[in-house]
């Protein structure tokens, strides 16, 4: 095992799902620090002392201008994403909501260009791979995914 320190970042993803199975995604601006020009689901980091479900609802309000109640929200699973070479790991709690109050709008025009409805079964090529993995987890299972981890070569 490596003694290199790893930073674990806790994140949330709030999938806003339409009745036809399409998810509402935002396109990040070309100059954005994270995933520039790509389609992503609504989400982000936890605030200090914030529960996962509340963080996902907050992100939906901050990014898409919609309000989701706790009863409208369903926990779907976890994604543990390893970023090779930089000591950064992310664990994302994924939630889905099929109903909400308010009409989605670009509440963060400094970060996002616009919204798109994206097929979870066949995400477009400009959908960020992390978001595509979230869609695959929701549509095919299992409820936990470990992404980009090196293959283990030995016994425990």
Show the tokens assigned to 78: 């976890």
Q: Total structural domains in the chain?
A: 1
Q: What is the CATH number of the domain that holds 119?
A: 3.90.79.10
Task: Give the per-residue pLDDT at 82.
Answer: 77
Which residues lie below 8 Å from residue 84, measured CB to CB, with a gap of 6+? 148, 150
Which residues lie below 8 Å from residue 133, measured CB to CB, with a gap of 6+? 79, 81, 145, 147
Show the domain range for 80: 7-147
155 within a domain of the structure (yes/no): no
1 within a domain of the structure (yes/no): no
51 within a domain of the structure (yes/no): yes
Show the tokens assigned to 82: 């390893």
For residues 118 and 41, the answer to whether their CB atoms sit within 8 Å is no
2 within a domain of the structure (yes/no): no
Q: 142: cis peptide before it, omega within 30°?
A: yes
Check whether 52 has a pLDDT greater than 90: yes
Task: Give the per-residue pLDDT at 35.
Answer: 84
Residues 76-134: tens digit of each pLDDT? 999 988 777 766 788 899 999 999 999 999 999 998 998 999 999 999 999 998 899 99
């Amino acid at each position: 095992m490596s003694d290199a320190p790893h930073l674990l970042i806790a994140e949330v993803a709030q999938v806003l799902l339409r009745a036809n199975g399409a998810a509402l995604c935002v396109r990040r601006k070309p100059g954005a620090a994270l995933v520039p020009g790509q389609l992503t689901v609504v989400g982000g980091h936890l605030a200090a002392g914030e529960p996962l479900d509340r963080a996902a609802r907050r992100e939906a309000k901050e990014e898409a201008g919609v309000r989701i109640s706790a009863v409208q929200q369903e926990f779907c699973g976890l994604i543990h994403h390893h970023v090779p070479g930089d000591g950064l790991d992310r664990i994302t709690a994924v939630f889905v909501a099929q109903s909400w109050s308010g009409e989605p709008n670009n509440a963060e025009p400094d970060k996002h260009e616009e919204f798109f409805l994206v097929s979870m079964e066949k995400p477009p090529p400009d959908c960020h791979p992390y978001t595509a993995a979230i869609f695959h987890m929701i549509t095919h299972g299992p409820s936990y995914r470990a992404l980009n981890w090196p293959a283990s070569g030995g016994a425990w």
